[in-house]
């Protein structure tokens, strides 16, 4: 899944060069771990945080399953939002 930030133009390829840090999961292998608020995960008020990963980074199985979970929720029609770590813009997954 690719995400494109309309705020700063960055493209994040989830699981390839980027990670999504949901408020539901802690990704211990991710350098920029941020635990978001306790509201509804992925909501506009409590979006998933997406950040570029350090070079040479390999996603853990836990993180990949996290990404798959987000993708599955989107396929079921969930409205979910993500936040670009670089510029802070909140966008809806498309």
Residues of this chain that interact with Zn ion (CB under 5 A) are 5, 7-8, 84, 86-87, 89
Choose between 26 and 90: whose C-beta lies nearer to Zn ion. 90
How does DSSP classify residue 22?
Answer: -
Residue 52 CB, nearest distance to Zn ion (Å)? Answer: 10
Choose between 69 and 89: whose C-beta lies nearer to Zn ion. 89
How many angstroms separate the first and last alpha carbons of the chain? 10
Residue 77 CB, nearest distance to Zn ion (Å)? Answer: 25
Choose between 67 and 84: whose C-beta lies nearer to Zn ion. 84
Could you tell me if 22 and 70 are in contact, meaning their C-beta atoms sit under 8 angstroms apart? yes
Q: Residue 48's beta-bridge partner residues?
A: 82
Please provide the DSSP assignment of 43-68 as one string: SSSSPEEEEEPPTT----HHHHHHHH
Residue 30 CB, nearest distance to Zn ion (Å)? Answer: 18
């Amino acid at each position: 899944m690719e995400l494109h930030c309309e705020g700063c133009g960055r493209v994040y390829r989830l699981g390839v060069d980027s990670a999504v840090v949901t408020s539901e999961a802690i990704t211990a292998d991710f350098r920029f771990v941020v635990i978001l608020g306790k509201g509804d995960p992925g909501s506009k008020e409590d979006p998933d945080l997406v950040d570029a990963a350090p070079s040479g980074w390999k996603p853990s199985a836990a993180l990949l399953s996290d990404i798959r979970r987000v993708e599955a929720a989107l396929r079921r029609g969930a409205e979910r939002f993500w936040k670009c770590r670089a510029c802070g813009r909140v966008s809806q997954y498309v």
